[in-house]
Amino acid sequence: MKSLRRDSSSDPHTANVTSKIFVRSTKSGKVQKIVRELYLRQDIPCSSKLCSTCPSVAPADANGNIAPFVLSEHPAGTTAFPRGHYLVPDTNALLNGMDLFEHTGAFYDVIVLQTVLEELKNQSLPLYNRLLALIKTDEKRFYLFFNEFRMETHVRRGQNESINDRNDRAVRAVATWYTEHLRAAAKKGKKEKTVPAIVVITDDKDSLRKAKEENVTALSLTDYVSGLEDSDRLLDMINESREQREVKGARGEMFYPEYYTMSKIMTGLRAGTLHQGIFNVSPYNYLEGSVNVAAFDKPLIILGRDNSNRAISGDAVVIEVLPKDQWKSPSTKIVDEEAVTKNDNPEAEDNEAVVPERERKALQEEVRKAHGKSTEGRPQPTAKVVGVIKRNWRQYVGHVDSGSTGSQASSGRRQQNVFVLPMDKRVPKIRVRTRQASELLGQRILVTIDAWDRDSRYPTGHFIRSLGELETKGAETEALLLEYDVQYKPFPKAVLDCLPAEGHDWRVPASKEDIGWKGRRDLRDLLICSIDPPGCQDIDDALHARPLPNGNFEVGVHIADVSHFVKPNNAMDLEASLRGTTVYLVDKRIDMLPHLLGTDLCSLKPYVERYAFSVLWEMTPNAEVVSTDFTKSVIRSREAFSYEQAQMRIDDPSKKDELTESMRTLLRFSKILRQKRMDAGALNLASPEVRIEADNDEVGDPLTDVKTKAMLATNSLVEEFMLHANITVAAKIYSTFSQTAMLRRHATPPPQNFEELISQLSKKRDMRLDVSSSRALADSLDQCVDAKNPFFNTLVRILATRCMTSAEYFCAGAHAESEFRHYGLASPIYTHFTSPIRRYADLLVHRQLASAIGYEGEDGRAIVEGVMTRNRLEDICRNINYRHRNAQHAGRASIEYYVGQALKARGEKLSANGVDGGIEEEGYVMRVFENGVVVFVPRFGIEGVVRLEDFVLKGDSALRSVEERRELVVRRESDFDNEEYTLQVSDKGHPDQGMSVELFQRVTVNVSSVKEESGRGAGKRRVRVLILGAQN
């Protein structure tokens, strides 16, 4: 019997054909062997501007152009490579040092291999995306080299060679090829002296050794960076976790249980024994997390570090429900990481346990409670984290914990471990190795988490950059924007190129024959005006009303025609869809669209002609809609009012002109519309909002800038008509795009969300809350009044709002029609149409509406522009929902910060003897914990946690400084009644001199801004609320 083995080496055709074989497991459980043929080529360019051969062979596109070459002719040199160098990083180098590669001070002219890129994609998707972004930018000169497709650099995997070894070999092969290739090219061009070195960056020891043998220049990331200027700062940016793991791998003391294997998780998820959800940490107790899963109607509670097993707030985790005897009730205690783990030493890890005694104690008391008596304390299912599907780690803003820098902080450049306390309290402190500890103290810094291993109590991370000194406006604002992932960089050139060339001189074409007038109605004669907050520059909407001969009225809402200027899928549109919304901070606005459009060309400024998208109704005097019309139009606003101005004009009986009359009509109609909406069951919700009017006067009390939002009739006028327009448009686009209409819904909250509030109300105030429908809820909320306490109703509304789900954008095909309902507005269908300058959703809706009414636009493409695939739309919805939420949080945080600053400024001005006396205000108890309460101060719209020591009792009213009060904590004792929501605070041994507070109670508080003077977190400023006494 003869055996044959085909020998392919002699066949000339096989040299450039090879195949890649791998196993693919599909979602349905199929396992396939996949064979991909690779046809190797020789025309993939090296992309170095030094090379004279590649430009002649590089493949050209259809127009005969070849891609511009990326790598510089004169790459930067270092002391080691005076003639300049190109970098070839391997996958690990990118994993460990992506921040370095993004750094603008170094790391130019980098050759990114296809092999490396693919490997990176498998290991970390976020890093992969960051690398792609780097390759796209021109300034860093990153070149993606398709080494697997080039014949000379393709590497066949040898027998018994691991994939890693093969990939490392591929990296070295590329380095070798580049060296020879460039040398040959230089020889041709007689520039031999200038050939740059090819430097492989790898942290793999084996690869470094082999590189030496093969005569390839290779350096570890650390060695390379050490040779650069400013190396101390750069070295801090290397991901340390891998190295460390190698060092201490042998010790093997594990603090956390291991995660389940992927297959075990998948089996469990399919079988329903494990659940998947997003891990959320309680803002009051860092040891308590919760996960919402489909199988349970209440969130599952995750208590303690052991159970949360290295999950960080925001991670997508897999959890296992614990046996029933371990079920507990949610925490009734405020537990702050800063307070509990005060003395941890970041360097010493040897004798630390996962759950130190202090933490265990904090938890144990709750277990006792769980087995307590009745409804409120009924244990809830608890769970433990057994796996992480997706880490949602981002970059965190924080500051170095001064207590952790140790005594040798000043001893110079030694590398040491410090703890960074993230601004977000739900994120545990991060252990960071740094050589610049002393400089970073007192700075706002940006760090990232690299890993959280089983043998480390805290996650390890590395430093990225400093934002500036704590408390400075610039640093704090940037911190805020970073924390809420707001894109605040200036618009890139590609976006600005999309603006009309005329700039501010752009005008509506004078001639009606002009193409710009095509399909537009001339509404310049109408008496249109806009009503906005004072100082508003981006005017989205304007209104008009006029009587018709038949006794009815024509009412029009005119919205800035942004879609005329922002064409789909150009750079500006993509940027806007990413930003999603304009973010308003107290002293800053981060625009979604470039300034020129937002505040000028689109803005419906008075006295000038502007393009608009108009919704026109014919209404009976009773505000019944007779007919609706949508049209693109040209308008000329007669006046831009502020709410106050409009109100005054309406109220002024001497004004009898047409414009004022039309506003009076609008006001009258708006009241009818509002009543109708209320009758339908719309909710009047409240959120604790204050407004900051920053007029920068240095004299006087800074706190006067802080104003609670006043509601004028004209506010509601505009609001009603916008709601009405939105609803009308929603119905229209849904009728045309039954699958892809961009809509907004507010899901009916599940009744169990209200359980706690209902029981609190019935117990404390004997009030009933009916949550069976929005109508019933609205009515019962109206009943929740306390004659002696006018704010009580608002308080209940705030609390009720928190029980609800948040509204969201969605694509019509994603839900059944019955689910479209907007609960809060009691409207069966809703969308956002009226603010296209500041919201991307509105812009999309504009395109859809234009398409729905058959508007063709200048180039006849408008009909197509409204059409979108559902997938794309769902992606956009996901993004803008996220951006929207973040924008709200950022705005709120900005106000909070401003209030703190105003308090501080006031304190500095008024304090006589260096001690800030604070300001006395009314507050309301919102939540009662075992060791403190949460008080809401409506004057400033802030919520403050009041701990035991911050209850001012009779004996200690003189003690005001933070340190003095802190000493009180050991003397305090409390008696907490979980059932009655009361907390009795007293000094030990003097129960008669105590103070008792209960839920919903009005208390007198002292609000001040204090700075931690010593100990941990020194230099950190916070708003402190002291309870002075209870009011009836």
Q: Interface with other proteins by CB under 8 A: which residues?
A: 1-6, 19, 21-25, 29-31, 33, 35, 157, 163, 261-264, 266-267, 270-271, 273
Which is nearest to 302 in space by CA: 381, 371, 367?
A: 381
Distance CA 792, CA 776 (A): 19
CB 205 within 8 A of CB 195: no
Residue 269 or 1030: the one with the smaller Cβ distance to other proteins is 269
Contacts of residue 370, Cβ cutoff 8 Å, sequence gap at least 6: 327, 328, 329, 377, 379
Residue 106 or 389: the one with the smaller Cβ distance to other proteins is 389
Residue 307 Cβ, how far from other proteins at the closest point, in Å? 18
Residue 35 Cβ, how far from other proteins at the closest point, in Å? 4
Residue 17 Cβ, how far from other proteins at the closest point, in Å? 11
Residue 302 Cβ, how far from other proteins at the closest point, in Å? 19
Distance CA 335, CA 364 (A): 13
Distance CA 459, CA 451 (A): 6
Give me the residue label for tokens 């403050």.
944
Listing DSSP states for 478-514 in one string gives: HHHHHHTT---SPPPHHHHTTS-TTGGG----SSTTS
Residue 29 or 551: the one with the smaller Cβ distance to other proteins is 29
Residue 33 Cβ, how far from other proteins at the closest point, in Å? 6
Backbone φ, ψ for residue 533 (5° rounding): -65, 155
Backbone φ, ψ for residue 677 (5° rounding): -65, -40
Q: How far is CA 559 from the centre of its chain?
A: 28
Spell 236-273 as b/e; 16+ CB within 10 A means b.
bbbbbbeebeeeeeeeeeebbeebbeeeebbebeeeee
Residue 6 or 656: the one with the smaller Cβ distance to other proteins is 6
Give me the residue label for tokens 């002719």.
73
Residue 191 or 264: the one with the smaller Cβ distance to other proteins is 264
Residue 159 or 622: the one with the smaller Cβ distance to other proteins is 159
Q: How far is CA 939 from the centre of its chain?
A: 28
Residue 265 Cβ, how far from other proteins at the closest point, in Å? 9
Q: Computed over its alpha carbons, how large is the radius of gyration of the chain?
A: 33
Q: Which two tokens stand for residue 295?
A: 């199988």
Q: Which two tokens stand for residue 1031?
A: 């009011």
Backbone φ, ψ for residue 193 (5° rounding): -65, -25
Residue 272 Cβ, how far from other proteins at the closest point, in Å? 10
- DSSP-derived 3-state class of residue 695: coil
Residue 29 or 790: the one with the smaller Cβ distance to other proteins is 29
Count of CB atoms situated within 10 Å of the CB of 65 = 8
1021-1030: strand order across its sheet: 942-947, 932-937, 919-929, 1002-1011, 1021-1030
Residue 22 or 882: the one with the smaller Cβ distance to other proteins is 22
Residue 11 Cβ, how far from other proteins at the closest point, in Å? 15
Residue 276 identity (one-letter amino acid)? Q
Residue 5 or 504: the one with the smaller Cβ distance to other proteins is 5
Distance CA 669, CA 661 (A): 12
CB 637 within 8 A of CB 606: yes
Residue 267 Cβ, how far from other proteins at the closest point, in Å? 4
Residue 262 Cβ, how far from other proteins at the closest point, in Å? 6
Residue 35 or 348: the one with the smaller Cβ distance to other proteins is 35
Residue 119 Cβ, how far from other proteins at the closest point, in Å? 13
Distance CA 575, CA 577 (A): 5
Residue 264 Cβ, how far from other proteins at the closest point, in Å? 5
- DSSP-derived 3-state class of residue 985: strand
Residue 24 or 656: the one with the smaller Cβ distance to other proteins is 24
Distance CA 251, CA 992 (A): 55
Residue 266 Cβ, how far from other proteins at the closest point, in Å? 5
